[in-house]
């Protein structure tokens, strides 16, 4: 419980456990407090597959003693974890399952590729309609997980905001095409270097460019905070609109401590670019806010201290070490 409750992804074990074991009891998911992320989409989908699901005392309990059966599922809204959870349940359900309004994120396609290697029968992963023919069992396999597109995008923005040159290797350029397009509009020079690397150069001050978060293949909500940090020192006024989560501007007040000029109107942030930011002591509220404050600190005059940076460890491995290796003056310390 203590481990699972801290993860948004805890809900991902519900479907496969019910499919394999006939029952599951999982802690309600945690994760960043960036807005409402109910699991009713997971619950409704599993119930349509024949599971009985109850939510009691902080847990979700599901059972299907006679196994799951295929069904036609239409998600009311696009859900990445919901699509993944249902996909893992459906591969072991009897008959055919059709998932409509499915998430198209690369991570969904990658999960389907893994399941196919394990003996699953899946068509349409990466599109909005996925068809699954249930199988009796899966078998072991070997699989290499795709690179983290959000980490790659974060480091591209780090290179741009610092007006330097950076090569981001082991990435899939197609997965971050929406970000690359916005960055090129703003003046960053980005080119592919080999099959799985991007070089970013941004020798001059960038221009303000608007961005609106959308489901994939649109501009990723998980890059919104980092992009906003870049826009705080861009020339002109930009509008950043958040359509996925209703509480994902908590980094704005902390960026303002560093001299950023940002005004919030509903789900839109209006950013007037400043010539520079000033170092300050700031507090990270969530995973991507942590990254945005670190990026802002790279170009702020003076020293910046980012408190509660442990949020960042949930989405980045050794970020400070990687930045230090390319010239950033950054170190981690404990109170």
The set of catalytic residues is 32
Determine the Cα–Cα distance for residues 177 and 217; give it in Å rounded to an integer: 8
Q: Encoding tokens for residue 115?
A: 């399941």
Q: Encoding tokens for residue 29?
A: 């998911």
Q: Encoding tokens for residue 272?
A: 């007037």
Q: Residue 72, class by beta-carbon neighbours within 10 Å (0-12 exposed, 13-18 middle, 19+ buried)?
A: exposed
Rounded to 10 deg, the angle between the 80-90 and 14-21 helix axes is 10
Tell me phi and psi for residue 59, to 5 degrees: -125, 155
- Of 172, 117, 119, residue with least CA distance to 142: 117
CA angle 242, 246, 251 (to 5 degrees): 70
Q: What is the DSSP letter of 278?
A: B
Sequence-ordered alpha helix ranges (H) in 204-258: 224-231, 251-257
Determine the Cα–Cα distance for residues 124 and 109; give it in Å rounded to an integer: 9
Determine the Cα–Cα distance for residues 115 and 292; give it in Å rounded to an integer: 34
């Amino acid at each position: 419980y203590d481990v699972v409750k801290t993860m948004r992804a805890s809900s991902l074990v519900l479907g496969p456990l019910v499919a394999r074991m006939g029952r599951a009891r999982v802690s309600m998911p945690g994760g960043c407090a960036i807005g409402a992320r109910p699991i009713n989409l997971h619950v409704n989908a599993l119930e349509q597959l024949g599971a009985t699901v109850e939510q009691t005392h902080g847990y979700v309990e599901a059972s299907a003693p006679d196994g799951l059966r295929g069904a036609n599922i239409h998600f009311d809204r696009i859900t990445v974890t919901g699509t993944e959870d249902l996909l893992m349940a459906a591969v072991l359900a009897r008959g055919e399952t059709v998932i409509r309004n499915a998430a198209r994120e690369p991570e969904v396609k990658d999960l389907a590729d893994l399941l196919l290697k394990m003996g699953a029968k899946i068509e349409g992963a990466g599109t909005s309609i996925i068809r699954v023919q249930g199988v009796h069992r899966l078998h072991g396999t070997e699989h290499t997980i795709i690179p983290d597109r959000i980490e790659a995008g974060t480091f591209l923005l780090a290179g741009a905001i610092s007006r330097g040159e950076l090569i981001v290797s082991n990435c899939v350029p197609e997965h971050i095409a929406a970000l690359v397009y916005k960055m090129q509009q703003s003046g960053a020079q980005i080119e592919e270097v080999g099959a799985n690397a991007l070089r970013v150069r941004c020798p001059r001050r960038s221009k303000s460019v608007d961005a609106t978060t959308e489901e994939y293949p649109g501009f990723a909500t998980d890059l919104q905070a980092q992009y906003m940090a870049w826009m705080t020192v861009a020339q002109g006024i930009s509008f950043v609109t958040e359509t996925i989560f209703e509480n994902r501007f908590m980094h704005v007040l902390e960026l303002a401590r560093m001299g950023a000029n940002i005004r919030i109107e509903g789900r839109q942030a209006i950013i007037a670019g400043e010539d520079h930011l000033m170092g300050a002591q700031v507090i990270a509220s969530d995973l991507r806010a942590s990254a945005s404050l670190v990026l802002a600190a790279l170009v702020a005059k003076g020293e910046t201290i980012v408190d509660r940076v442990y949020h960042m460890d949930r989405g980045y491995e050794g970020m400070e070490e990687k930045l230090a290796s390319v010239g950033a003056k950054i170190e981690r310390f404990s109170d």
